[in-house]
């Protein structure tokens, strides 16, 4: 029956069947990768690879259509491309895809990281070929186009190895400032992780003197994985204990 059809009709049917077959294979691979990598949020870049495979299958399908149908396939593909361009804005989609590939090659973040991109902040929930999804503090799902992500500054808060914590302590001006600073500095000298970097060592500075009180800013550097509030409490406890042991009074 197929042989009885005209060459033009056969070419059109062949192009349609090949296109449907390619679409089905691409769809199945996309679903398969989505289920496999959804079990492990840290493997989002693996899902990204699945998206690239889908693109490769689409390109292969287009080539196969051209090889089988010749000029008719060219006409069909051009018509489909023009329709897609008008309905989807292919220029924007292509830009997002190129940016997605760039993000894949550089990998500035991964699922679970807290980042700031394109004026948005949140935890990375999903990374695809065309967009990056963030989970905001209020639970909102924020979709950011990859072209916007790649074009702006990316701040990855989860990538930091250290974080600075600081607390404030006020003492009366009648107390010995030098003695106070020495006592606290000695108490917190081993507070931070061992580091040869002088900029990562803990310290104490007197920032202001106001209404008969000296304001001491006590700072230290801790691992980026530590809870900031807990580390501040620990630092404050160490400072107050040092002042008490040195007979430095907090009240005038």
Q: Is 209 helix (H, G, I), strand (E, B) or coil?
A: strand
Domain 160-245 carries which CATH code? Answer: 3.30.70.100
Do 129 and 51 meet the contact criterion of CB atoms below 8 Å apart? yes
What's the mean pLDDT in 49-56? Answer: 68
pLDDT in tens, 100-151: 888 887 889 988 888 999 989 899 998 888 899 999 888 899 999 999 998 8
Q: Is pLDDT of 90 > 80?
A: no
- Counting residues of the chain whose pLDDT is more than 70, the rounded percentage is 64
- The pTM of the full predicted model, rounded to 2 decimals, is 0.43
Domain spans, the chain? 2-88, 107-158, 160-245
Q: Is 82 helix (H, G, I), strand (E, B) or coil?
A: helix
pLDDT at 195: 56
Do 114 and 122 meet the contact criterion of CB atoms below 8 Å apart? yes
Q: Is pLDDT of 224 > 90?
A: no
Two domains, one topology: 107-158 and 160-245: no
Do 113 and 159 meet the contact criterion of CB atoms below 8 Å apart? yes
Tokens of 167: 């607390």
pLDDT band at 18 (very low <50, low <70, confident <90, very high): low
Tokens of 97: 């895809």
Q: Is pLDDT of 182 > 80?
A: yes
How far is the C-alpha of 195 from the C-alpha of 199, rounded, in Å? Answer: 9
Domain 107-158 carries which CATH code? Answer: 2.30.30.60
Q: Is pLDDT of 218 > 90?
A: yes
pLDDT in tens, 33-45: 655 655 554 455 5
pLDDT at 49: 65
- Strands of 141-202 (E only): list them: 141-145, 155-156, 162-172
Q: Could you tell me which residue, 70 or 81, shows the higher pLDDT?
A: 70
Kind and range of the H or E run holding 38: helix 7-38
Mean residue pLDDT across the chain: 77
pLDDT band at 19 (very low <50, low <70, confident <90, very high): low
Kind and range of the H or E run holding 54: helix 44-69
């Amino acid at each position: 029956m197929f042989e009885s059809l005209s060459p033009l009709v056969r070419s059109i049917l062949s192009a349609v069947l090949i296109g449907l077959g390619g679409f089905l294979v691409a769809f199945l691979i996309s679903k398969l990768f989505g289920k496999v990598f959804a079990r492990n949020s840290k493997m989002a870049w693996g899902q990204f690879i699945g998206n690239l495979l889908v693109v490769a299958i689409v390109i292969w399908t287009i080539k196969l259509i051209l090889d089988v149908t010749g000029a008719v396939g060219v006409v069909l593909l051009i018509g489909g491309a023009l329709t897609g361009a008008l309905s989807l804005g292919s220029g924007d989609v292509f830009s997002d895809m190129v940016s997605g590939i760039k993000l894949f090659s550089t990998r500035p973040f991964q699922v679970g990281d807290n980042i700031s991109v394109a004026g948005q902040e949140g935890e990375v929930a999903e990374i695809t070929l065309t967009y990056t999804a963030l989970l905001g503090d209020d639970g909102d799902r924020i979709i950011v186009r990859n072209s916007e992500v790649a074009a702006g500054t990316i701040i990855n808060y989860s990538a930091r190895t250290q974080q600075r914590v600081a607390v404030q302590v006020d003492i009366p001006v009648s107390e010995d400032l030098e003695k106070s600073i020495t006592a606290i500095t000695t108490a917190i000298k081993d507070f931070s992780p061992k580091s040869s970097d002088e900029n990562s060592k803990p310290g104490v500075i007197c920032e202001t003197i106001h209404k008969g009180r000296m304001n001491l800013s006590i700072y230290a550097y801790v691992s980026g994985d530590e809870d900031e509030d807990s580390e501040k409490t620990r630092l404050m406890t160490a400072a107050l204990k040092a002042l008490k042991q040195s007979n430095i009074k907090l009240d005038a």
